[in-house]
């Protein structure tokens, strides 16, 4: 969970890098693997879904791409606001 919070911080803060769409690429590449190997933590699901939708978006969709960008930001903020479990060991 600590790693997810560290990565979520810059994504949640629109003024810092990576930009949400850059964060989405990072999430899609590394967090999806982490999510699958960590027994699918529910806290990551909205972020991963929004990141995948951002990457797969085309102009034919009825939803504006900015919608997914905002979902990425909102999901990252949810991760930051979630209680942090104690360190193991």
List the chain pLDDT tens, one digit each, 89 residues. 556 666 666 666 665 555 666 666 666 666 666 666 766 678 888 888 888 898 899 999 999 999 998 998 898 889 888 887 655 55
The secondary structure of 29-79 as a DSSP string is: IIIHHHHHHTT--GGGHHHHHHHHHHHH--TTSSS-HHHHHHHHHHHHHHH
Model pTM?
Answer: 0.68
Structural domain contains residue 10: yes
Contact 1, 83 (CB under 8 A): no
Structural domain contains residue 7: yes
Structural domain contains residue 33: yes
Structurally, how many domains does the chain consist of?
1
Q: Compute φ and ψ for 84, nearest 5 degrees.
A: -95, 125
Structural domain contains residue 86: no
Structural domain contains residue 89: no
Report the SS3 class of residue 6: helix
Positive or negative: CA dihedral 33, 45, 38, 22: positive
Q: Residue 62 has what pLDDT?
A: 96
Structural domain contains residue 88: no
Structural domain including 36 reads 2-81
């Amino acid at each position: 969970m600590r790693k997810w919070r560290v990565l979520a911080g810059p994504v949640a803060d629109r003024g810092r890098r990576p930009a949400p769409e850059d964060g989405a690429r990072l999430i899609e590449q590394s967090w999806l693997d982490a999510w699958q190997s960590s027994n699918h933590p529910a806290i990551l699901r909205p972020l991963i879904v929004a990141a995948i939708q951002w990457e797969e978006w085309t102009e034919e969709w009825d939803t504006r791409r900015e919608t997914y960008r905002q979902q990425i930001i909102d999901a990252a903020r949810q991760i930051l606001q979630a209680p942090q479990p104690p360190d193991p060991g």
